[in-house]
Every structure is written in C-alpha cells, then in structure tokens.
Structure 1
C-alpha cells in the first residue's frame, strides 16, 4: 500500500513537471508582452512629463530653479557641518582619528578633576558635574576651538581678498594671463591667502580646470567673496567679456561689503556692550561678595540646596547668554 502511494506521488510530480515545461513558453511570452507594454507606458509617461515641463510658464520655471538653488544651498550647508570640513576651514590636517583621540583624553581629564576636587559634595552631584564637564571638554571645547580658528582664518582671508583682486586686475591690464596673476597673488600675499592661491595654481598646473580648482578651494575657504570670484570667472569663461573690468567691479563690491560690515559692527556695539555687562554682572557680584563677606555666601557652596541653586542659576545664565548672543549676532 505504501509503495503504491509513493509511486502515485512520483507519477503526479513527473506529470506536473512535464506540463509546466510544455506550458512555460506561453507564460514567458505573456510576461514578455506585459513587460513590453510597461516599457511603452513608461516611454509615454516620460514623453508626457517632458511635454508638461515644456508647457510650464516662466514663473513656474523660475520657482523650480529657486527651489533647486535652495536645495543645493542646503546640501552645501550640511556638508560644511562635517568634522572634516571644519578642520579644513581651520587650516588643520583633517585627521579624524587623532582629533577624537585627543578629545577623548581631554574629556577623561575633565571627568576626573571634578570628582577629586569636589570631595565635599554628594557623590551624585559630583558625578553629574563630572559628566557635564567631560561632555563639554570632549565634544564642545574642541569644536569651539576649531570654529574660532576657522572664523579667524576666513576673516583674514576676506580682508586681503580685495587686494588680490586688484593684483590680478592690474596684471590682466598689463597683458599677463590669468594664471600669472594667480601666481603673483600666491607669491606676494601672506597666509592664508598666499598658500590657498598657491594650491589653486598647483591644481591648475596638473590639468584641473580653473572652475574646478576654485570649487576645491571653496572647500578650504567657504567665504562668499570667493564664491563671487568663482561666479565671475565661470561667466567670463562661458560668455567672454572684459575680465579686468569685471574683477575691478568685484573688488569695489567687496570693499563696499567690508565698509558695510564695519558700519553694522559700529551700530551694534551698544547692544554688545549691554549684553556683556548683563552677562558679567551676576558672577562678578558673587565674586565680590565672596571676597568681602565669605561667610555670607559660603552656604551656597556647602549646603546641598545652595549647590542646586547655583547649578540652576548657571544653567539659566548660560541660556540667557546664548539668547543675547543670538540677538546681537547680525548676519549680512
């Protein structure tokens, strides 16, 4: 009985296999027909989309271009926030491993010091302070230093950049090609302008186009002035024209921007002074009281409630300083 069932099952499998083999061609042709129809529909869809794009009004095309520019600017800002980009902006070799190693050592030292120095405080409070100090020293302090170095370097670059435009303009008017003008800037100007233009000249010398070399230079110096120079060079390369006149106008615009920057700084100096006084006043008064009457302010450091009040006050003070900095930090 068992052998009969097994033979019947094997026979069913063989017959089903033969039937699938003989009828598979029809299924394949049906699939091929369906695939062909899908491709035809896809081509028709693309044709309709192309016709729809051509039928757009100038306002719609302008809106689409604006959205594309916004997306490109957003991607560029996101790329600037990377650690490697910040190190390039600061003029530091982008060694990420070494950076995180030094940051970890600094964070470990900042974690141990409060645990040992604040032995009179409760352990939980010491642990919280140590964790906060370690986080600030490991994550915040190195990035803050990189930001300061990058801002100082970009500021120095933008201050000397109009002079570089004047050198290139005079060289072009005297009959020199653009590359010789770039070499003059690399030779005559100080850091960071000279080394960056020297790198630009070397990239052009190895076969890179001037537009591509300027884009690569923008990775090291993300300044709007350099972006203006790149746009002027790109437009002149495509449309032609008097390059010396265009660079002369660019130099005038950059100097006007610098004057506007100084004017804004002068007009906002009163707000900056007021914010500085408000930020320094509470800790200054606390230090004066601790010098004149130390027994009066001692419970703030020895009692747990006073320590919690100091911690809360420092937190709110930090938030207030950041808010005032946001209010007086004008972008132009």
Structure 2
C-alpha cells in the first residue's frame, strides 16, 4: 500500500483516538473510583451529622423524661411517707373544724344512745339475745355509725370539689393566657369559686404568703382531697415548675380530660341506676318482711328469737345477706 492510500486510514484512527480520549475525559469523574469514594465519604458524613442531630434531640427528650420521672418518684415517695390517715385528717376531709377529742366524746354518746334504743326495742321473749344485741349496738354506735357519717360527709365534700375543679382550671388557663401570674389566678379561684373549692385554694394562697412552695401547698390540698383530678393538677404544676413548659396548654388538656371523666361518671351512674335500685330492694326485702310479720304476728317468729336453733338460723341468714349485699355492691360499682 502506498502512502497516499494510508493517509485516510491514519486520519480516521487519529480521529477515533481523539474522540475516545475526549469521551474518557468527560466520563472519568463518573466512572472513576475517586467519584465513588467521594460519594461514600459524603454519605457517611451526612449520616453522621444527621445521627448526631438525632442523638442530641433524643438526649434532650430523654433528659426531660428523666426529670419528669424523678419528679413523679419524689412526689410518690413523699406521699408514701405521709400515707397514714389520722383522725384529724379524716375530720379535715369532712370539713369539720373540731378536735379529735370532741369526735370521741360524740362517738361515746352515740354508743350509749344506740344501746338504750336497742334495749328498749327488745321484746321480753328475746332475753337470750340481749347481751349480744347490746354489744353489737355499742360497737355500731361507738365505732360504726360515727365513722360512717364522717365518711359520708367527706364523700359529699369531695364530690362538690370535683364538680367545680374543671372550671377552676379553666380560670387558671384564661388567666395565664391573658398575662396574669399563677398566684393571681389562684387568688381569683379562692375569691370567686363556691365552697369547698374556695376554702381549699384560699389555704393554698395563705400558705404561699408565708413562704410555703406552691407544690407543697397543693400536695397538702391533695391529702385533704384525695381525688385523681386534684392529683393530676398538683403533678402538672409541680412538673412545670421543675422542668418548664407551656402551663396553659398542659392545664387546658387536663381540663378537657377532667370534663371527659365527669361525663363518663355521669354516664356510668345513669346506666347503673336500675341495678342499684334492684340491689336496694333485694337488700331491704328480707328484713322488711320479717319486721312486718313480727308486727302482725309476734308468735310466728318466737322460735327464731327464743331457741338456740332459731338464733343460729338468724346468724346464718345475716351472714348470707351480708355476702349477697357485698356481691351486688361489687357488681354495680364500676371503675372508669
């Protein structure tokens, strides 16, 4: 082949090599190991930065959670240390401003009065049961009846407090949103709320004026009003003071929860009203029938009162009646 015929072939080869070199130069950053390495390094760096940021947020959340748990544990420990319920505390829960000595004197008078009523009500034919009935009357009049009245007064007072607590929390929420300090909101509650809410929050305000911390003052109210709603309120205030946060939002959520609980309680009461009425009728029917038979025909029940076998039957009947009443009470009392 001569030189003239080789020139086009050489020109084409040089052009192909030049084009291949240009393409390789352009594609080199995308196909080289350095490019892959740079991508891996950037991915690892970005992942590490994101992980550090996530760890920082997680650490902050864990630290805040730890503060909340420590606060709850501290409050629970103080509650267990003061768990003993004394007679003075029972009187405070019932709203009675009397000394325990006065209560014991009233209990003794009630015991003697019940024994006299039982002795005067006993027929002559029931002389064999007289000592047991008198002893039972003394115990019921001295220990049972006064404590039952005290428990009823405390339950009625707590029910009134519970019905108004959600409104009091709403007052605090609106006051905080409008710029009032928490102490001023509590003062408004103490002045404007009905009893017994006003008396309890007035006690909180008075204790703050003499230097008692707000958390401790609310804890004392919780001891006098051992309600879940008041415990929630006390815990929210204590946690907000120790770890900070939006108090208005927390109390607003708490108010909604309390209103929902109150609605649920009213619904449960309405649904269980029929069962409670049936239990009351079944519990009162046997002694009522026995009383009417005794009034109409005393000789008919004489063997039950005068013989040992009859006395055993009376005790067995009272035992079964007690078991039945307790079972019905368990069936109609709902936890919510």
TM-score by length of 1: 0.71
Deviation at 1:102, TM superposition (A): 1.5
Deviation at 1:163, TM superposition (A): 0.3
Q: How does 1:152-191 map to 2 (within 5 A)?
A: 152-191=156-195
Deviation at 1:181, TM superposition (A): 0.5
Report the 3-state secondary structure (helix = DSSP H, G, I; strand = E; otherwise coil) of the residue aligned with 1:98: helix
Alpha carbons 2:128, 2:306 under 8 Å: kept: no
Distance change >3 Å, CA 252–CA 145, structure 1 → 2:
same
| Alignment correspondent of 2:84 | 79
Among 195, 200, 214, the residue aligned to 2:204? 200
Matched, 1:250 2:254: yes
Matched, 1:211 2:231: no
Among 318, 321, 325, the residue aligned to 1:317? 321
Deviation at 1:211, TM superposition (A): 0.5
Q: How does 1:292-303 map to 2 (within 5 A)?
A: 293-294=296-297, 297-299=300-302, 303=306
Deviation at 1:283, TM superposition (A): 2.4
Alpha carbons 1:108, 1:134 under 8 Å: kept: yes
Deviation at 1:274, TM superposition (A): 2.6
- Number of equivalent positions: 266
Residue-by-residue CA offset, 1:93-115 (whole Å, 9 max, x unaligned): 35222211221222123223333
Alpha carbons 1:90, 1:149 under 8 Å: kept: yes
Residue-by-residue CA offset, 1:17-70 (whole Å, 9 max, x unaligned): xxxxxxxxxxxxxxxxxxxxxxxxxxxxxxxxxxxxxxxxxxxx9xxx9xx799
Q: How does 1:26-105 map to 2 (within 5 A)?
A: 72=77, 75=80, 78-80=83-85, 82-93=86-97, 95-105=99-109
| Alignment correspondent of 1:328 | 332
Rounded to whole Å, the distance in 1 between the matches of 2:298 and 2:123 is 20
Report the 3-state secondary structure (helix = DSSP H, G, I; strand = E; otherwise coil) of the residue aligned with 1:79: coil
Rounded to whole Å, the distance in 2 between the matches of 1:70 and 1:171 is 27
Report the 3-state secondary structure (helix = DSSP H, G, I; strand = E; otherwise coil) of the residue aligned with 1:330: coil
Residue-by-residue CA offset, 1:108-127 (whole Å, 9 max, x unaligned): 23223333442514544101
Alpha carbons 1:300, 1:310 under 8 Å: kept: no
Rounded to whole Å, the distance in 1 between the matches of 2:135 and 2:115 is 6
Rounded to whole Å, the distance in 1 between the matches of 2:182 and 2:193 is 16
Rounded to whole Å, the distance in 2 between the matches of 1:285 and 1:248 is 54
Rounded to whole Å, the distance in 2 between the matches of 1:286 and 1:88 is 40
Q: How does 1:281-296 map to 2 (within 5 A)?
A: 281-290=285-294, 293-294=296-297
| Alignment correspondent of 1:28 | none
TM-score by length of 2: 0.71
Deviation at 1:174, TM superposition (A): 1.3
Distance change >3 Å, CA 300–CA 74, structure 1 → 2:
farther
Question: RCO higher in 1 or 2 (8 Å CA, sep ≥ 6)?
Answer: 2
Structure 2: which 5+ runs fail to align? Answer: 1-65
Rounded to whole Å, the distance in 2 between the matches of 1:211 and 1:278 is 48
Question: Highest Rg: 1 or 2?
Answer: 2
Deviation at 1:252, TM superposition (A): 0.4
Deviation at 1:247, TM superposition (A): 1.1
Deviation at 1:159, TM superposition (A): 0.5
| Alignment correspondent of 2:237 | 233
Rounded to whole Å, the distance in 1 between the matches of 2:151 and 2:259 is 25
Distance change >3 Å, CA 261–CA 178, structure 1 → 2:
same
Residue-by-residue CA offset, 1:130-164 (whole Å, 9 max, x unaligned): 00011011011111111111111111101100000
Cα RMSD over matched residues? 2.9
Deviation at 1:84, TM superposition (A): 2.3
